[in-house]
Structure 1
């Protein structure tokens, strides 16, 4: 645990890039120059951005150029005596252009624009859901492997389950990926599709995550929905360790019982 200074100012930028790999290189550049002041670094596919622009009234792309991928960056600043976060972010993006990591970019001119940039990010899940039935996964992979996972896992899922469309967006800075597999176009009965395909798609996606060295849970944990998959994928030693920790802190099993792992005597 650590205490951090209150935020005195922030800069929010939107950058068009060619690929998740370039987004990762941009992250490394920004981190090297701005350090801990990098508060947010989100990577978004252009198709997913299009879903937001078509679904959420009043939204528009922050940049003029159509690019395959997009990055949303927030830089926070606590010391008013140092250069402003906008100046520091602008310098970092200038270097990114020189290294051909950025195709186009914009820095919010005021708080209203900054909020508009973030509104796009915060509307992604809602806009994805509006495209039709889908299975959505909150997963994590090592940051260095995230770019390849975002491309390869989507292509593999679409090949394995014909007609589906897979996409992802996420917090590149910590490897958290929101991975979605949408039902074939024209699917009218979402629950029936999930009942028929859900278990197989779940296993396929989770196997890909584990193969990439990641975790099937990220922001939202295991809960009840992933409990069976945890049992399938985790080693007996890991399950035993989880049970031991649970029993040590909750010997009577009265705190949120059975939500993560079955305790002795449970099915």
Structure 2
């Protein structure tokens, strides 16, 4: 039966685009951090929406689970099949066309398999900006960004992916194609169905195309890094920047000294940008669509005030694109650095901005009480309250014989409980996947969970779309 199914998959997408051998499927059944591993009946790489629809119809006919996968850059195991080997992994890498770019509507329509960097370049070539920015933008794909409602470093000004999607094309669980690729900014015709698929992690339908918002390209920018004594100082500097520069503050990112040290130790071609070492650092970027020197002057004036009154201990302002890129490399390299540092337990919490200092202090103390050998690093988007508290355990634990799962559960429970107590969430931009699925019911409550389960049954009555994820 399996051979017959695989033969029919080959008939749809071509033999060269169906992978079955363990060596060939390995990149598709394990996540990049090495935490999640499964098995696949086969991996199929369709070329277009029609082939995706045909594969979904085939899976529905045979009751074969289907796991959609973009760039496989997620951290929650949302794109990894289970270990049964019964699932078809649907990889959209071949679907990478820029379908249309409308400069007057400020909209771009793309295949779901386009990488984020490809969409950024297409916008730039049209003198426009697609503002989503992630450390994995060279490999993560738009379909995955939408399916997880990705955030990134520009949420402060432009919002998460949910705010950047105008329309979607989705293959439903029976193979029907819903085409909602409308470049409209206003459409008040009933239920906004696109929002059900954004953040649903492929459990309600397979996103195959998207129409996305574009923005005027920035003409001037300023990037700076500040050394700060504590997170209260970071909040104060952020407030001053917002007062002085308003929405031109595009990014405000925090890094702990422990996080910066990990990057410097494990990522080549990174250098410490400040002589002063401090417990915390704040990376800020301001942009304007006007070509003006006033932006840099306002940034420098605000930072000078923070230095003069002792709010900041030191600061550096990038004087060239290369210097700005060097500062950004420190921020975008944190995942690579942490992975090389030991056993990683990551978190994607968000709390009200005013609660960030208390959350980090309480969560760090709780983790250290559970595991005195843990090293806690922190990085995050202070402008939207999203703090990634990352727990790094000694690499020797992998071979020590001590089970990791109980440690992970205890650490996760402590961190997530504190976030909830402070009015926060257990996932801000990474999604649920399989990593925190067990905590979702307690966070959402019975009413919300009942509604979500009802939506899942309506859209996927056979339960074949990315089973075991989210719900």
Matched with 1:28 is: 239
Corresponding residue number in structure 2 for 1:98: 308
Structure 1-normalised TM-score? 0.88
Q: CA deviation at 1:190?
A: 7.6
- State how far apart, in whole Å, the 1-side matches of 2:274 and 2:352 are: 29
1:16 paired residue number: 227
Contact 2:362 2:418 in 1 (8 A): no
Match for residue 326 of structure 2 among 116, 130, 133: 116
The 5-angstrom pairing of residues 135-146 of structure 1 reads 135-146=345-356
**Closer, same or farther: CA 235–196 of 1 in aligned 2, 3 Å:** closer
Indicate the residue corresponding to 2:273 in structure 1.
62
Q: Distance in 1 between matches of 2:357 and 2:300?
A: 24
Q: CA distance change for structure 1 residues 207 and 191 in 2, over 3 Å: closer, same or farther?
A: farther
Contact 1:9 1:84 in 2 (8 A): no
CA distance in 1, matches of 2:276, 2:218: 31
Distance 2:272 2:349 in 1: 27
Q: Indicate the residue corresponding to 2:202 in structure 1.
A: none
Identify the match of residue 183 of structure 1 among 393, 403, 408.
393
8 Å CA contact 1:15–1:105 kept in 2: the answer is yes
Equivalent position of 2:282 in the other structure: 71
Deviations 1:199-229 (A, max 9, x none): 2222222111111211111111112221111
Deviation at 1:159, TM superposition (A): 1.4
Q: 1:14 touches 1:117 (CA, 8 Å); kept in 2?
A: yes
Q: Is the 8 A contact 1:135 1:194 kept in 2?
A: no
Gapped regions of structure 1 (runs ≥ 5) = 262-267
d(CA) in 1 for partners of 2:232 and 2:256?
Answer: 12
Q: Is the 8 A contact 1:17 1:102 kept in 2?
A: yes
Q: Which has the higher helix share?
A: 1
Task: Name the CA shift for 1:249/1:87 in 2 (closer, same or farther; >3 Å).
Answer: farther
What is residue 85 of structure 1 aligned with on the other side?
295
Query: Is 2:436 aligned against 1:226?
Result: yes
CA distance in 2, matches of 1:190, 1:33: 53
Distance (Å, rounded) in 1 between the aligned partners of 2:400 and 2:416? 21
* 1:258 positional shift: 4.7
Deviation at 1:249? Answer: 5.5
Distance in 2 separating the partners of 1:31 and 1:191: 50
Q: Distance in 2 between matches of 1:120 and 1:191?
A: 34
Rounded to whole Å, the distance in 2 between the matches of 1:186 and 1:209 is 29
| Residue 47 in structure 1 maps to residue 258 in structure 2 | yes
C-alpha contact (below 8 Å) 1:21/1:148 kept by paired residues:
no
Greater RCO between the two (CA within 8 Å, min separation 6)? 1
The CA RMSD measured in Å over matched residues stands at 2.2
Please say which structure displays the higher CA radius of gyration: 2
Alpha-carbon distance change, 195 to 254 in structure 1, aligned in 2, over 3 angstroms: closer
Distance in 2 between residues matched to 1:131 and 1:254, nearest whole Å: 37
1:206 & 1:42 partners in 2: Cα distance?
A: 21
Unaligned runs of 5+ in 2: 1-162, 164-212
Q: Is the 8 A contact 2:363 2:418 kept in 1?
A: yes
